[in-house]
Amino acid sequence: MLKRLLLLGAVSGLLAGILSWTYSKVYSHYLGVDFSTIATPVKMIVACVIGGLIASLGYALLQRLLGLKTDAVFNLIFTILSFASILGPIATKLPLELQSPELFPWLVMPMHLFPVLGWLTLKPLFFPPKA
């Protein structure tokens, strides 16, 4: 069970990282800004995979504590934490030498939601609902 949870966390994190990188390329292309020195593809993917693995461990812990109510409570907590994590980019102060530093939060804020979306999308594939 824990192995599958960790695999789910890693795969959903990798998916979220790839989506983050893709989103950053599209964002940069259409807005003509480049934050690749700050938000590198490696940082995006590693952060998402680590987030997915931490989520897996949190799910396993909640499952021991809550049993059947785990999914509802975990999904709520993961979603709230994802939205709360958006406060970090909002508070980030970038050097004014960077082109359009005010656009940076709008680049990374959606990325904070990709891990929870990846998890919610892939969980039924790793743990099919029981009929």
Residue length, the chain?
131
Tokens 């021991």 belong to 64
Q: Where in the sequence is the domain holding 24, given as residue range(s)?
A: 1-119
| Interatomic CA distance for residues 82 and 115, integer angstroms | 8
Tokens 């938000």 belong to 39
- The pLDDT of residue 104: 86
Q: 126 in a domain, yes or no?
A: no
Q: What are the pLDDT digits (tens) for 61-98?
A: 999 999 889 999 999 999 999 999 999 888 877 776 77
Asked whether 16 and 50 are in contact (CB, 8 A), the reply is no
Q: What are the pLDDT digits (tens) for 39-69?
A: 899 999 999 999 999 999 999 999 999 988 9
Q: 66 in a domain, yes or no?
A: yes
